[in-house]
Amino acid sequence: MSAPATRDGWFPRDFVKVIPSVAVRSKKAESMATIPQDDRMRNGGATDKPSTSNQEYQVNFRENAIRELLDAETAYVNLLSSLCYGFLHKLRLHTDIFPMESINCIFSNIEDILHFQEAFLDALKTGIRNHSIAKVFLSHQAAFSVYSTYCNAHPRGFMELEKYTGNKMASEILERCRKSEKLPELPLTAHLLAPIQRICRYPLHLSELVKYFPSNPNFQRDVKKDQEMMDCKESFELALATMKKVAEMVNGGDQWMRRA
């Protein structure tokens, strides 16, 4: 019995989907990867070229960097508030378990840092509205010295807190404090590291702002004339250098920068 003759078939065009070759698909994916997601969504993902100008990209990146700075600063102040009101103040009600000397050793001058950071956050919000963020950092340079006491006392405070490891009553009190403040499930020692990490991360925020702000060729002239300092590449470079010095100034600052 002979084999049936082969016949060429056909399908209506609407039922056929042409699949590009691997090379074509790869090239297309490569070009799409270079386009920010927002632009791809705006253009239905069907273009290889961004529709917005480089200047608009810079503005977007700049706004994102400012938003990240403000969000991080707000979260930090909230954490400080939780440590002061949710832990420190409550432990002072349990001096039978946590003697005052021990509490002072563990928390050092964290209340002073909270008061400073609340004022700094208010100034930062004003600086964002007035386009003078760099000036906020420069004008608070001396006030950041409040961190010196905390950074110096931190190793001793850490060891003091470790003494309560295995103390059931102390652990229960600390856990109740953590839950009442809805903090992540981390030991108190981890949360108390936040001020040291924060002072070391300001330069990272400022270095991002340096990237995305345009240069002002008249910056030096404006500074000499004592004109209002508006945000620009040069003003953020000055603020960046200042905050690097601050991180090193608070005793052991460079040491903490390597650890944070």
Q: What is the pLDDT of residues 53-93, one digit of tens each?
A: 778 888 899 999 999 999 999 999 999 999 999 999 999 99
Q: Domains in the chain: how many in total?
A: 1
260 domain-assigned: no
pTM: 0.76
28 domain-assigned: no
pLDDT of residue 24: 40
pLDDT of residue 58: 84
pLDDT of residue 224: 76
pLDDT of residue 187: 95
53 domain-assigned: no
As a whole number of Å, the CA-based R_g of the chain is 28
Summarised one tens digit per residue, pLDDT across range 85-119 is: 999 999 999 999 999 999 999 999 999 999 999 99
156 domain-assigned: yes
159 domain-assigned: yes
Let me know the angle formed at the C-alpha of 162 by 154 and 200, rounded to the nearest 5 degrees: 30
CB burial string 187-196: b at 16+ within 10 A, e below: ebeebbbbbb
Of 63, 60, 71, 58, the closest CA to residue 201 belongs to: 71
d(CA 29, CA 140): 47
pLDDT of residue 36: 42
CATH label of the domain that carries residue 141: 1.20.900.10
Alpha carbon distance, N-terminus to C-terminus of the chain: 82
Record the tokens describing residue 122, joined without a space: 């208010």
pLDDT of residue 251: 56
187 domain-assigned: yes
pLDDT of residue 28: 42
Residue 159 domain boundaries:
61-213+229-252
242 domain-assigned: yes
Record the tokens describing residue 148, joined without a space: 């010196």
Ranges of residues in the chain whose predicted pLDDT is under 50: 1-51, 253-254, 256-260
- For residue 11, report the phi and psi dihedrals to the nearest 5 degrees: -130, 145
Rounded-to-10 torsion of CA 247, 251, 253, 259: -150
4 domain-assigned: no
Of 121, 148, 151, the closest CA to residue 137 belongs to: 121
SS3 content of the chain, % helix, strand, coil (to 5): 70, 0, 30
